[in-house]
A and B are shown apart, each in its own frame.
Chain A
Amino acid sequence: RKEVEQDPGPFNVPEGATVAFNCTYSNSASQSFFWYRQDCRKEPKLLMSVYSSGNEDGRFTAQLNRASQYISLLIRDSKLSDSATYLCVVKVVVQKLVFGTGTRLLVSP
């Protein structure tokens, strides 16, 4: 079983739509959780951290369910510029991150 599993997509949505991505992780001792964004042929960049209480950053909402070992990312009012690959990332031990395969999002006009 992979340490971090994501649906690779692609998710094709129209502008203005709401879209949600899910991610599961296998190591119950995982400490911290993140979503990174990777544009085509670019490097990954941190989008947001994921906190147990859930957190929001503008149109983006991240949630964590430790009991189910499940992380989600919700994007509201999708923009063309949101088209990218979203990587679910888990910190399993100090300073080591494990990346999922990523979920590709395509937002169309």
Chain B
Amino acid sequence: EAGVAQSPRYKIIEKRQSVAFWCNPISGHATLYWYQQILGQGPKLLIQFQNNGVVDDSQLPKDRFSAERLKGVDSTLKIQPAKLEDSAVYLCASRPTGTSGYEQYFGPGTRLTVT
């Protein structure tokens, strides 16, 4: 079974520029998450989708971050404009529907450096 795919793996941009990240979850996983992991910290949930609907975006800085999952499969996360403090790894995770367990499957992440 293919895992969660993310691209790009690395991105370096200057502050005030825009950037977009892409995620393709495991086939059939209805729930998709975007996390931000700053160096030395645990992952912090930015947004959670159930199919193409947003379940939780309470920690998404909506003045600069946006995310969509239009067809309920792959998803994009955008930052516009980027700030220095956005330097982090952006992790996408997915979870199957209807399971009793609670494992989230993470992609390899996109490492963003804002200079």
Contacts and interface: CB of A to CB of B under 8 A. Distances in A.
Contacts of A42: 108
A87 B56 CA distance: 22
B43 A46 contact: no
A95 B107 contact: no
Interface residues of A, number: 20
B56 A8 contact: no
A97 interface: yes
Indicate the size class of the contact surface on chain B: 20 to 34
B2 to A, nearest CB: 14
B45 A91 contact: no
Contact of B40 (A8, A32, A45): A8
Interface of A: 4, 8, 32, 34, 42-46, 49, 87, 91, 95-102
6 contacts: A45-B106, A87-B42, A87-B43, A95-B95, A96-B56, A97-B102
Interface of B: 31, 35, 40-45, 48, 50, 55-56, 91, 95, 101-104, 106-109
